[in-house]
Amino acid sequence: MEGRNVLLSIKKDIERHVGQKVVLKANGGRRKIFVNKGVIEKTYPSIFIIRLDNDTQRKVSYSYSDVLTKTVQLDFAK
């Protein structure tokens, strides 16, 4: 039950930043970490979408549990 509350708070935090720029740090496996800049485009019940700045049409999606397990880290622009 507590895990569900944590995921809900992560989801609400990301929803508050829709349309804002973020720095995305994603674990690519085998000691690879990808760092990209982008904009949080949309949130869904289980995932959220980020449009990357370096590619014009490239979008990536991650689940809220990826943030919880620190597979993905988001640094929101102030």
H helix or E strand, kind and range, residue 27: strand 21-29
We report the CATH number of the domain holding residue 24 as 2.30.30.100
Has residue 78 got a pLDDT over 70? no
Q: Which residue has the higher pLDDT, 32 or 54?
A: 32
Backbone angles phi, psi at 7, to 5 degrees: -65, -40
Q: Give residue 34's domain range.
A: 2-76
Number of domains in the chain: 1
Give the pLDDT of residue 28: 84
Tokens of 51: 């449009």
pLDDT digits (tens, 9 = 90+) for 7-52: 999 999 999 999 999 999 999 888 899 999 999 999 999 999 999 9
pLDDT value of residue 54: 78
Task: Summarize pLDDT for 62-71 with one digit per residue, the tens.
Answer: 999 999 999 9
- The DSSP H or E segment spanning 66 is helix 64-68
